[in-house]
Amino acid sequence: MDILVTGGTGTLGRHVVPRLRDSGHDVRVLSRQARGPDEGVEYVTGDLDTGEGVELAVEGADVVVHCAGSTKGDEDKARNLVAAASRAGAPHVVNISVVGADRVPVVSRVDRVMFGYFASKRGAEHVVAESGLPWTTLRATQFHELMFTTVQQMTKLPVVPAPAGFRFQPVAADEVAARLVELALGEPAGLVPDIAGPRVYEMTELVREYLRSRGKRRPILPLPLPGKAAHAFREGANLAPERAVGRRTWEEFLADRTTSLSQAR
């Protein structure tokens, strides 16, 4: 098959691309940056926010694995993608979304500022489902990689502010990539069961484990967040404990990061 991966240069996409290539398919990646071909992967320059270059990227694709995303505007990106795909022969669109896209209410200004991402992922899900194209959507919990960057930033402060009552169920991006590839090589399946990490952690627990792995100590200050979206988070809208199919724990992820850091020194 001829497979286009949007976001093939990102945290998730970087795991998806080699898995697809190793399964013997022709892989093309859409990126905003011009890049030469690399290890049998062709790069097409385009921007899903403007639609520029997208038509050329989807041309001849049998499957589009849509991993491109950012903190806002994913609904518009999906709209530009499906419009071009519909004109290019109706490939199967495999879309990655987030657990809680349907459960985190983004109604007030404060919700939009802090949790607008969930609304844009929900919007993107709708665009894909209503596109008339064959589609599959997988919702994942937060990746270890994202939690790591978040906690790393938070712990730069002398006192670490942690949203009170928030829990997360981080999953390895590579495990999500493996499932996406399985879905991309299968039949369109609509909304499939979520993928989530092996354990639910309090935010404070994630921070403490990170600090321990870095040999640091910091006081943690629970920070109550206002709004309906934050309330939904406290109720666990971003979790899927019944879908704890990921195997790699936060502790294992941190241990590997610590090893690669000390090897780099």
Ligand X SMILES: NC(=O)c1ccc[n+]([C@@H]2O[C@H](COP(=O)([O-])OP(=O)(O)OC[C@H]3O[C@@H](n4cnc5c(N)ncnc54)[C@H](OP(=O)(O)O)[C@@H]3O)[C@@H](O)[C@H]2O)c1
199, 203, 208: which is closest to 223 by C-alpha? Answer: 203
In the complex with ligand X, the residue whose CB is nearer, 26 or 47, is 47
**Of 40, 70, 87, 153, the one binding ligand X by CB under 6 A:** 70
Residue 49 in the binding site for ligand X (CB under 6 A): yes
Using CA of residue 26, residue 29, residue 30, residue 36, what is the dihedral sign? negative
User: From CA 65, how far away is CA 96, in angstroms rounded?
Assistant: 8
167, 24, 190: which is closest to 95 by C-alpha? Answer: 190
Residue 78 in the binding site for ligand X (CB under 6 A): no
In the complex with ligand X, the residue whose CB is nearer, 49 or 62, is 49
| Token pair of 65 as six digits | 């694995």
| Token pair of 217 as six digits | 């100590």
Residue 67 in the binding site for ligand X (CB under 6 A): yes
Q: Which residues sit opposite 63 in a β-bridge?
A: 3, 92
From 1-9, 20-28, 218-226, 248-256, span contacting ligand X (CB under 6 A): 1-9
Q: How many whole angstroms from its chain centre is CA 239?
A: 14
User: Residues with Cβ < 8 Å from 22, sequence gap 6 or more?
Assistant: none
Residue 69 in the binding site for ligand X (CB under 6 A): yes
Q: Are 5 and 177 in contact (CB under 8 A)?
A: no
**Of 90, 129, 146, 220, the one binding ligand X by CB under 6 A:** 146
In the complex with ligand X, the residue whose CB is nearer, 45 or 221, is 45
The type of residue at 42 is E
Residue 143 in the binding site for ligand X (CB under 6 A): yes
In the complex with ligand X, the residue whose CB is nearer, 140 or 229, is 140
User: Per-residue contact track with ligand X, 3 to 42, x per CB under 6 A?
Assistant: ---xx-xxxxx----------------xxxx---------
Q: Which residues bind ligand X (CB under 6 A)?
A: 6-7, 9-13, 30-33, 47-49, 67-70, 77, 96, 98, 121, 140, 142-143, 146
